[in-house]
Amino acid sequence: MSEIKLYVMYAGRINLPDKGHMTPGLNVGEPISMPVYTYLIVHPKGLVLVDTGQEPGGPSVVEKEDRVVSRLKELGYSPGDIKYVIMTHLHVDHAAYMTEFPNGIFIVRKEELKAAWWSERCEHGYVYEHYKDTRDFRFFEPLDQEDFDVFMDGTVVCIDTKGHTRGHQSVVVKLKNTGNVVLVGDAASLKENLELGIQPGVCSNNWYAMQSLNKLKHLEENGYKLLFGHDIYQEKEIRLSPLYYD
């Protein structure tokens, strides 16, 4: 297998007064300060960015160096170098700065685009300004349960993990030394969501969210390394850029 590198890029924190927001029914009233990430996959056929991070303000603490463009710069890249931009979903803490990548080809599930552009009143967490100017960008829009193989070589594959949002997806990356890694996103924001089978926060569809947790559990039991979207325990051991997984 050719050399592929995975960088986990720190994108600031979210400070919430109530961890129960992430684990409905559990940890209620307990404060949480959790990390936010974007990811860069360096593949021989091109660079892939996964998620574009968050802006400072409200519960989000984002230093200048935490912005995705700054993180890329630290690694010697500029936005124009990015070939594909995979969005796990379009929530506020994942989709800021999409407009910094007008030349990238975005890979976003069709249902996620529909949810973001025309949310139901119960679908919170989208910020229209983040994507309203991307309408003329180039998009691949995988459907339903479709697996989307980015380079058609099985090394970077977007899988359906809907439930947290209507069109949530996770990314499976095959690495030579580390093995199979899953960028889980918010299909399991915290390890607790997976371990205890608790839906990841307020979900657009709880039933699908549970199906997705089962799917991730199955991957984990088969040796896949799961990188959770916002886990505070995994944060202590995760390898952050400029270090990488290969």
What minimum distance in Å lies between the beta carbon of 9 and Zn ion?
A: 18
Tell me the window of 7-15, 45-53, 91-99, 105-113 that interacts with Zn ion (CB under 5 A): 91-99
Q: Of the candidates 241, 238, 235, which has an alpha carbon nearest to the alpha carbon of residue 74?
A: 241
Q: Of the candidates 123, 129, 224, 101, which has an alpha carbon nearest to the alpha carbon of residue 167?
A: 123
Q: Which is nearer to Zn ion, 43 or 94 (CB)?
A: 94
Build a one-symbol-per-residue string for 8-37: x at contacts with Zn ion by CB under 5 A, - elsewhere. Answer: ------------------------------
Total residues binding Zn ion (CB under 5 A)? 2
Tell me the window of 51-59, 70-78, 87-95, 103-111 that interacts with Zn ion (CB under 5 A): 87-95
230 near Zn ion, judged by CB under 5 A: no
What minimum distance in Å lies between the beta carbon of 126 and Zn ion?
A: 10
Q: Which is nearer to Zn ion, 112 or 186 (CB)?
A: 186
Q: Which is nearer to Zn ion, 161 or 241 (CB)?
A: 161
Q: Which is nearer to Zn ion, 47 or 112 (CB)?
A: 112
Chain residues 164-203 in contact with Zn ion, contact rule CB under 5 A: 186
What minimum distance in Å lies between the beta carbon of 171 and Zn ion?
A: 15
What minimum distance in Å lies between the beta carbon of 94 and Zn ion?
A: 6
3-class SS string, the chain:
CCCCEEEEEEEEEEEECCHHHCCCCCCCCCCEEEEEEEEEEEECCEEEEECCECCCECCEECCHHHCHHHHHHHCCCCHHHEEEEECCCCECCCECCHHHCCCCEEECCHHHHHHHHCCCCCCCCECHHHCHHHCCCEEECCCCCCCEECCCCCCEEEEECCCCCCCCEEEEEEECCCEEEEEEEHHHCCHHHHHHCCCCCCCCCHHHHHHHHHHHHHHHHCCCEEEECCCCCHHHCCCECCCCEC
Q: Which is nearer to Zn ion, 189 or 241 (CB)?
A: 189
What minimum distance in Å lies between the beta carbon of 210 and Zn ion?
A: 16
Q: Which is nearer to Zn ion, 48 or 95 (CB)?
A: 95
Comparing every residue's Cβ against Zn ion, the nearest one is 91
Token pair belonging to 92: 């506020």
91 near Zn ion, judged by CB under 5 A: yes
Contact 41, 5 (CB under 8 A): yes
Q: Which is nearer to Zn ion, 71 or 164 (CB)?
A: 164
Q: Of the candidates 77, 76, 123, 69, which has an alpha carbon nearest to the alpha carbon of residue 96?
A: 69
What minimum distance in Å lies between the beta carbon of 90 and Zn ion?
A: 9
* Interface positions with Zn ion (CB under 5 A): 91, 186
